[in-house]
Amino acid sequence: MGAIEAAHNVRVLGSGDTTVVLGHGFGTDQSVWKHMVPHLVDQYRVILYDNMGAGTTNPDYFDFDRYSTLEGYAYDLIAILEEFNVDKCIYVGHSLSSMTGAIASIFRPDLFHKLIMIAASPRFVNTVDYYGGFEQEEIDQLCDAMESNYKSWISGFAPLVVGGDMDSVAVQEFSRTLFNMRPDIALSVFRTIFTFDLRHFLARVTVSCHIVQSSKDLAVPVAVAEYLHQNLGGKSIVEVVATEGHLPQLSAPELTIPVLLRHIQHDIVDA
């Protein structure tokens, strides 16, 4: 097993001429795709991996400087694709990883056939001319709460983000993977996500992008999906799904997975 494979807990499942790569978002790990994977392995070669900093990775490998921008994650993704000789993959990225895939595709467009972006946002904080969904003071308060009592913060944050109460299996699952993260790493990743501004990258993304968005997502308003659609440099399409929450593949798989499979199977048709 190579160093990259071991560090990111890379798993290769199924078989097929086409490779589907699944990238998870903040606070989760590759287990967030557990409802999706069985629908892929008979037809595709599937690659799963954990972002550095996830609770399933070695915290000693987390470089706070490298992962203070999304380029660090993008270089990791490119290294994984190169290690496994991936060419023109279908990359399914959730939240943080959807933007990681976008940046990686700018550096190495040859590695990507298309991106499927779930709950993607190029910037979470509002500006005078942009609605990301959050005011800076709200982000500061969330960071303060994380620092003061991480476990307590999770019990408030997880239900809000997933869209449910603590009795929900999806909320419990998200709470578990959040709790597995070392608190200082979780805070660092959270700050990186909620302070980045990737709007200037969008025009340079030339691979096709399929934007899949929950109709009710506390973290990403529907307007952000439309903003991506209008500003990406290549072909793009938006589908708003009647789901609630930021992790629809975990909380509403019966609605979300058929949509994702359709976007994996079908390319954007020129109008």
Query: What whole-number distance in Å separates Cα of residue 183 and Cα of residue 224?
Result: 29
Catalytic hit among 8, 24, 94, 95: 95
Q: Is 39 a catalytic residue?
A: no
Q: Give whole-number Cα distances, 235 to 100, 115, 119, 140, 207, in Å.
A: 18, 11, 18, 36, 7
Catalytic hit among 8, 24, 113, 246: 246
Catalytic hit among 24, 113, 217, 263: 217
Query: What whole-number distance in Å separates Cα of residue 127 and Cα of residue 135?
Result: 8
- Return phi, psi of residue 144, to 5°: -60, -40
Name the token pair of 28.
């989760």
Q: Is 208 a catalytic residue?
A: no
Nearest 10 degrees: CA dihedral of 171, 47, 53, 231? -80
Name the token pair of 226.
């439309």
Rg (CA), the chain: 17
Query: What whole-number distance in Å separates Cα of residue 182 and Cα of residue 122?
Result: 25
Helices assigned H by DSSP within 26-95 = 70-83
Q: How far is CA 205 from the centre of its chain?
A: 17
Q: Is 217 a catalytic residue?
A: yes
> E-strand spans in the chain?
11-14, 19-23, 45-48, 89-94, 112-118, 208-216, 236-244
Strand order in the sheet with 11-14: 11-14, 45-48, 19-23, 89-94, 112-118, 208-216, 236-244
Q: Return the active site residues.
A: 95, 217, 246
